[in-house]
């Protein structure tokens, strides 16, 4: 051992338990201050954000919603949806719907596009996200995937269908009874994790930015969805080695004939209730997406008409039959060109609706 | 292979694992091989230059050890100093002479390893290093954790640790802690301040308050940046069971500029003290000579950091600061009370002296530094 003031002294054991606790606490505070400084100030400009992780934690979602609420210098165009809007199958975030909308809106520097879509998002998740983050100047676009009305998805329980249970049970607590009556959905009143999350998210920056720190520190592009999940599950730090792999979109294209009448679908009732709640937020616009799974026949045409009629808003855009089969990667996820086409139509819709 | 890259972490993890599974007697050779790989990745010419200078220094060292003739030491030191001067200042000199300006890439870590090799030759001459083994010398030369950004090591302290390379859990604990701390300093504090402090490159467009705010930020950034890199180097070295000198010891909490320089970039300031200031005469030849020695030492520290004129002036700024501090300590300071208030006052004054001095460090030209001075003048 070298004993010289030019070298740090390495002791075999710390002095006491108190010593360890004190230093641990000190570093915890210092680290939290540093994280607050970096991630809570100029988050979008400094840290950068294009989309959430493919499997984000609730604190990642809440931290981005917090940033939207606190950034007064910009209006936000928030995209709510599931894996289609998130951009499964599209590696480069610039080629997703949000990215291509950004290109179309590049002259409007006061607008920031935030892709808040998450694969597996339900209508309840999206409604909760509006309620948590909404500011009168911001615009929310609520993307509706018609495949969700199929019986394969429509009859799932709360636990099976809702992505962010903590956020939903808090944000839609008032409407618990209503969703129970209409749709037999049992929104839990108390959720231990949601209480913990609500307590720690505002006061502990490291907790709030857990996923953001991960993404930022290892330079992980969120498009690398598989790696992102791997990282979150196993907390490994070698994900960067696996980068740049094309994203798998899963199953192939199978065209089916729709037999489910959407008017009988529980999901239709749920959507009607959700949109009725969101009537109090005037800047929420709706877009019904196309799909590549079901035949476009008279039966399905009538389903889409019913779907449109169930939405409690005048500002609804239907993209049914407007996106060709060649612009799909599988039964529902689009190619970058498909995203581009949707972006153009949404851009026009926003303009004609006087939203931008 | 910059420290803040995933590749470095993978390289470090791989080499550390390999290092501890191979037999103890081969670990010195592993250090040499890892260093060679690290340097070869940066560029084969760099490795050749390092090898060439190392080979020349080792040979000169053997010659010096044989009969301790002064001219051999001078030859070795001049050779190393010339090579460093060539790579560091040839571009600036040719540009100054309007001779086209050579665009030479500075070989990785040359400022650090030439100083280490000069130390090696001087200590052989002084008799403090005897019979250096070639494998120890190569491990010293190629030890990769300290090759990018120091600290400047000492041969005897390094090689004494190679005699007993056993796995020590406390080294692993401290090493990982220092790595985490270093990366936190670099990534969380220093890097986010870069865009803000870059505004100082063009101070003409900034208001006085903006310049001042950016100078404070730069003061924090440079400490977090360099301190972070040093912690990463120290942490990496500890993972190989080797303790390297530290560079910083809470420098911004020092109550005078003299103590600041004993805790800022300590491995460099100690080197300059041992191999320049004291050989020049130190403080043994009266106050005027001492002042001159201080100025020369700080001038060398200044030009060691960069080839433009503002680095030289930055060194002289600190040289003058040290002179004034010495005069103060020997005159008025003796009758001043020594209490916590004076200490805090001293810390504040020293911090601001250093922070204002960064104006000379941060810009590309002396002209821009003078604009910064002009802008903050109303606040001084």
In this prediction, residues B330-341 reach a mean pLDDT of 87
* Comparison of pLDDT for A46 and B230, the residue scoring more: B230
Distance from CA of A129 to the nearest CA of B (A): 29
Say yes or no to pLDDT of A208 above 80: yes
Q: Say if residue B160 is in the same domain as residue B290.
A: no
User: Tokens representing B82?
Assistant: 């010339």
Catalytic residue among B26, B285, B293, B305, which?
A: B305
Q: Do B245 and A7 touch (CB under 8 A)?
A: yes
* A237 at B interface, C-beta within 8 A: yes
pLDDT for residue A240: 46
Q: Say if residue B56 is in the same domain as residue B196.
A: no
Task: Out of B165, B189, B218, pick the residue that ends a domain.
Answer: B165
Q: Is the dihedral of CA B131, B136, B142, B143 positive or negative?
A: negative
CB pairs under 8 A between A and B: 54
Question: Cβ contacts (< 8 Å) between B246 and chain A: which residues?
Answer: 6-8
Say yes or no to pLDDT of B220 above 80: yes
* A9 at B interface, C-beta within 8 A: no
Which secondary-structure segment (H or E) carries A79?
A: strand A75-80
* Comparison of pLDDT for A144 and A193, the residue scoring more: A144
Domain assignment present for A255: yes
* A7 at B interface, C-beta within 8 A: yes
Q: What is the pLDDT of residues B275-312, one digit of tens each?
A: 999 999 998 988 999 999 999 999 999 999 988 888 99
Mutation for testing the A interface, residue in B192, B223, B262 having most A CBs under 10 Å: B192
Domain assignment present for B349: yes
User: Tokens representing A130?
Assistant: 């509006």
A342-to-A31, A328, B151 alpha-carbon distances in Å: 42, 12, 56
Q: How confident is the model at residue A219 (pLDDT cuts 50, 70, 90)?
A: low
Lowest pLDDT segment from A75-89, B39-53, B366-380: B366-380
Tell me the average pLDDT of chain B: 90
Q: Say if residue B205 is in the same domain as residue B136.
A: no
Q: How confident is the model at residue A237 (pLDDT cuts 50, 70, 90)?
A: very low
Q: How confident is the model at residue A54 (pLDDT cuts 50, 70, 90)?
A: confident
Q: How confident is the model at residue A183 (pLDDT cuts 50, 70, 90)?
A: confident
Q: How confident is the model at residue A235 (pLDDT cuts 50, 70, 90)?
A: very low
Say yes or no to pLDDT of A136 above 70: yes
- In percent, the amount of chain B with pLDDT more than 90 equals 63
Q: Do B188 and A34 touch (CB under 8 A)?
A: yes
Task: Out of B103, B131, B165, pick the residue that ends a domain.
Answer: B165
Q: Say if residue B205 is in the same domain as residue B309.
A: yes
**Distance in angstroms (rounded) separating the CA atoms of residues A338 and A323:** 7
Q: Say if residue B212 is in the same domain as residue B349.
A: yes
**Distance in angstroms (rounded) separating the CA atoms of residues A343 and A115:** 13
To 5 degrees, how large is the angle CA A154–CA A159–CA A161? 30
Domain assignment present for A34: no
Say yes or no to pLDDT of A1 above 50: no
Chain B residue nearest residue A240, CA to CA: B6
Distance from CA of A57 to the nearest CA of B (A): 22
Is residue B317 within 8 A of residue B223, CB to CB? The reply is no
pLDDT for residue A223: 44
Q: What is the pLDDT of residues A155-172, one digit of tens each?
A: 888 888 888 888 888 888
Q: Can you tell me whether residue A338 is helix, strand or coil? A: helix
Beta bridge partners of B374: none
Q: Say if residue B267 is in the same domain as residue B358.
A: yes
Domain assignment present for A89: yes
Distance from CA of B259 to the nearest CA of A (A): 13
**Distance in angstroms (rounded) separating the CA atoms of residues A355 and A76:** 11
Beta bridge partners of A140: A78, A284
Owning domain of residue B256: 172-379
* Phi-psi map region of A42: left, alpha, beta (phi>0 left; psi -120 to 50 alpha): left
Is residue A79 within 8 A of residue A228, CB to CB? The reply is no
List the one residue out of B237, B293, B225 whose CA is nearest residue B265. B225
Is residue B125 within 8 A of residue B64, CB to CB? The reply is yes
**Distance in angstroms (rounded) separating the CA atoms of residues A326 and A236:** 38
List the one residue out of B132, B133, B158 whose CA is nearest residue B145. B158
* Radius of gyration for chain A, computed over Cα atoms and rounded to the nearest angstrom: 23
H helix runs in chain A, sequence order: 17-39, 58-70, 83-86, 97-104, 123-133, 151-154, 158-161, 165-171, 176-183, 192-203, 205-208, 210-217, 225-234, 266-277, 298-310, 336-352
What is the β-pairing status of strands A111-115 and A75-80? parallel
List the one residue out of A248, A231, A232 whose CA is nearest residue A240. A231
Q: What is the pLDDT of residues B113-128, one digit of tens each?
A: 999 999 999 999 999 9
pLDDT for residue A243: 44
H helix runs in A266-297, sequence order: 266-277
Say yes or no to pLDDT of A230 above 70: no
Instruction: Count CB-CB contacts under 10 A for residue B266.
Output: 22
Domain assignment present for A20: no
Helices B110-126 and B155-162, interaxial angle, to 10°? Answer: 90
Domain assignment present for A37: no
Tell me the average pLDDT of chain A: 82
Count how many domains chain B has: 2
Is residue A310 within 8 A of residue A268, CB to CB? The reply is yes
DSSP strands (E only) in B237-339: none
* B245 at A interface, C-beta within 8 A: yes
Distance from CA of A87 to the nearest CA of B (A): 27
List the one residue out of A289, A202, A291, A228 whose CA is nearest residue A254. A291
Q: What is the DSSP string of B103-170?
A: -PPPPTTHHHHHHHHHHHHHHHHHTSS-S--HHHHHHHHH-GGGTTT-PPP-HHHHHHHHTT----HH
Q: How confident is the model at residue A248 (pLDDT cuts 50, 70, 90)?
A: low
Question: Cβ contacts (< 8 Å) between B188 and chain A: which residues?
Answer: 31, 34-35, 37-38
Q: What is the distance, to the nearest Å, from the Cα of residue B115 to the centroid of all Cα atoms in its chain?
A: 10
Q: Say if residue B83 is in the same domain as residue B176.
A: no
Mutation for testing the A interface, residue in B164, B188, B231 having most A CBs under 10 Å: B188
Q: Do B246 and A12 touch (CB under 8 A)?
A: no
Q: Do A218 and B6 touch (CB under 8 A)?
A: yes
Mutation for testing the A interface, residue in B13, B223, B241, B243 having most A CBs under 10 Å: B243
Domain assignment present for B180: yes
Q: Say if residue B146 is in the same domain as residue B230.
A: no
Selecting from B187, B188, B246 the residue whose C-beta is nearest the C-beta of A7 gives B246
What is the β-pairing status of strands A284-288 and A316-318? parallel
Q: Say if residue B249 is in the same domain as residue B153.
A: no
Domain assignment present for B18: yes
List the one residue out of A139, A198, A142 whose CA is nearest residue A166. A198
* A238 at B interface, C-beta within 8 A: yes
Question: Cβ contacts (< 8 Å) between A6 and chain B: which residues?
Answer: 245-246, 266-267, 270
Domain assignment present for B1: no
Instruction: Count CB-CB contacts under 10 A for residue A35.
Output: 21
Q: What is the pLDDT of residues A282-324, one digit of tens each?
A: 999 999 999 888 888 889 899 999 999 999 998 999 999 999 8
Domain assignment present for A124: yes
Q: What is the pLDDT of residues A263-280, one digit of tens each?
A: 888 888 899 999 999 999
pLDDT for residue A220: 55
User: What ipTM is given for this predicted complex?
Assistant: 0.72
pLDDT for residue A247: 56
Selecting from B9, B238, B245 the residue whose C-beta is nearest the C-beta of A6 gives B245
Say yes or no to pLDDT of B130 above 70: yes
* Comparison of pLDDT for B118 and A48, the residue scoring more: B118
Owning domain of residue A333: 50-352
Q: Say if residue B194 is in the same domain as residue B118.
A: no
* A35 at B interface, C-beta within 8 A: yes
Q: Do B243 and A46 touch (CB under 8 A)?
A: no
Domain assignment present for A105: yes
Selecting from A2, A6, A217 the residue whose C-beta is nearest the C-beta of B270 gives A6
Q: Say if residue B145 is in the same domain as residue B284.
A: no
In this prediction, residues A219-238 reach a mean pLDDT of 50
Task: Out of B114, B149, B165, pick the residue that ends a domain.
Answer: B165
Q: Do B6 and A240 touch (CB under 8 A)?
A: yes
Q: What is the DSSP string of A63-79?
A: HHHHHHHH-TTSEEEEE
**Distance in angstroms (rounded) separating the CA atoms of residues B255 and B348:** 8
Domain assignment present for B212: yes
Q: Do A6 and B246 touch (CB under 8 A)?
A: yes
**Distance in angstroms (rounded) separating the CA atoms of residues B91 and B88:** 7
Instruction: Count CA atoms within 13 Å of residue B60 on its CB side.
Output: 25
Count how many domains chain A has: 1
A51-to-A48, A78, A79, A126, B174 alpha-carbon distances in Å: 10, 11, 10, 15, 37
Domain assignment present for B13: yes
* B217 at A interface, C-beta within 8 A: no
Q: How confident is the model at residue B100 (pLDDT cuts 50, 70, 90)?
A: low
- Does B285 qualify as catalytic in the annotation? no
Domain assignment present for A217: yes
Q: Say if residue B39 is in the same domain as residue B59.
A: yes
Asked whether the bond before A295 is cis by omega within 30 degrees of 0, the reply is: no
CATH number of the structural domain spanning residue A314: 3.40.50.1110
- In percent, the amount of chain B with pLDDT more than 70 equals 97
* A314 at B interface, C-beta within 8 A: no
What is the separation, in whole angstroms, between the first and last Cα of chain B?
A: 42
pLDDT for residue B241: 93
């Amino acid at each position: 051992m070298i004993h010289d003031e030019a070298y740090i002294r390495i002791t075999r054991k710390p002095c006491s338990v108190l010593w360890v606790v004190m230093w641990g606490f000190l570093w915890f505070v210092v680290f939290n201050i540093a994280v607050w400084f970096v991630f809570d100030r100029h988050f979008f400009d400094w840290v950068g954000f294009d989309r959430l992780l493919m499997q984000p934690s609730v604190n990642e979602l809440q931290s981005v919603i917090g940033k939207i609420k606190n950034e007064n210098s910009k209006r936000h165009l928030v995209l709510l949806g599931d894996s289609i809007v998130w951009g499964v199958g599209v590696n480069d975030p610039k080629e997703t719907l949000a990215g291509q909308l950004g290109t179309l809106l590049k002259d409007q520097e006061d607008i920031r596009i935030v892709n808040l879509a998450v694969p597996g998002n339900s209508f309840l998740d999206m409604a909760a996200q509006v309620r948590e983050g909404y500011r009168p100047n911001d615009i929310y676009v609520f993307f509706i995937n018609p495949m969700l009305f199929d019986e394969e998805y429509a009859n799932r329980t709360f636990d099976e269908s809702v992505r962010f249970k903590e956020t939903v049970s808090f944000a839609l607590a008032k409407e618990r009874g209503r969703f129970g009556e209409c749709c037999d959905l049992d929104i839990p009143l108390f959720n231990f994790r949601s209480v913990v999350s609500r307590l720690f998210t505002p006061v502990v920056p490291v907790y709030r930015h857990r996923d953001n720190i991960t993404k930022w520190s290892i330079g992980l592009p969120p498009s690398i969805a598989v790696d992102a999940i791997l990282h979150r599950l196993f907390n490994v730090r070698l994900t960067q080695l696996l980068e740049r792999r094309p994203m798998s979109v899963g199953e192939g294209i199978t065209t089916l004939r729709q037999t489910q009448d959407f008017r009988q679908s529980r999901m239709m009732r749920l959507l009607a209730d959700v949109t009725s709640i969101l009537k109090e937020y005037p800047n929420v616009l709706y877009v019904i997406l196309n799909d590549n799974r079901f035949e476009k026949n008279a039966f399905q045409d009538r389903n889409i008409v019913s779907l449109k009629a169930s939405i409690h808003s005048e500002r609804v855009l239907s993209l049914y039959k407007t996106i060709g089969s060649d612009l799909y990667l599988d039964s529902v996820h689009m190619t970058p060109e498909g995203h581009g086409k949707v972006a153009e139509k949404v851009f026009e819709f926003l303009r004609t609706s006087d939203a931008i | 292979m910059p420290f803040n890259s995933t590749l470095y972490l993978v390289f470090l993890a791989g080499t550390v694992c390999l290092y501890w599974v191979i037999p103890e007697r081969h670990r010195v050779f592993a250090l040499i091989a890892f260093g060679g790989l690290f340097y070869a990745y940066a560029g084969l010419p760099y490795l050749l230059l390092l090898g060439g200078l190392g080979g020349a220094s080792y040979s000169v060292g053997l010659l010096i050890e044989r009969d301790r003739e002064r001219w051999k030491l001078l030859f070795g030191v001049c050779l190393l100093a010339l090579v460093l001067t060539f790579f560091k200042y040839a571009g600036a000199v040719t540009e100054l002479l309007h001779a086209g300006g050579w665009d030479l890439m500075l070989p990785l870590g040359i400022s650090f390893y030439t100083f280490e090799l000069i130390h090696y030759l001087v200590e052989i001459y002084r008799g403090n290093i005897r019979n250096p083994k070639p494998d120890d010398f190569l491990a010293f030369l190629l030890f990769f954790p300290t090759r990018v950004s120091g600290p400047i090591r000492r041969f005897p302290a390094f090689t004494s640790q190679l005699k007993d390379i056993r796995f020590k859990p406390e080294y692993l604990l401290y090493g990982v802690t220092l790595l985490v701390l270093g990366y936190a300093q670099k990534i969380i504090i220093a890097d986010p301040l870069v865009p803000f402090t870059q505004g100082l490159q063009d101070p003409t467009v900034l208001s006085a308050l903006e310049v001042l705010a950016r100078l404070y930020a730069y003061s924090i950034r440079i400490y977090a940046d360099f301190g972070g890199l040093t912690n990463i180097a120290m942490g990496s070295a500890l993972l190989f069971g080797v303790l390297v000198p530290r560079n910083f010891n809470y420098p911004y909490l020092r109550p005078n500029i003299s103590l600041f320089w004993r805790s800022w970039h300590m491995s460099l300031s100690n080197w300059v003290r041992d191999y320049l200031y004291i050989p020049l005469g130190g403080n043994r030849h009266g106050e005027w000579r001492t002042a001159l020695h201080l100025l020369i030492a700080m001038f060398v520290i200044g030009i060691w950091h960069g080839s433009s004129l503002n680095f030289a002036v930055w060194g002289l700024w600190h040289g003058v600061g040290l002179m004034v501090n010495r005069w103060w300590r020997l005159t008025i300071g003796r009758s001043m009370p020594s209490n916590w208030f004076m200490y805090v006052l001293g810390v504040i004054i020293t911090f601001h002296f250093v922070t204002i001095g960064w104006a000379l460090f941060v810009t590309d030209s002396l002209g821009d530094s003078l604009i910064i001075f002009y802008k903050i003048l109303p606040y001084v």
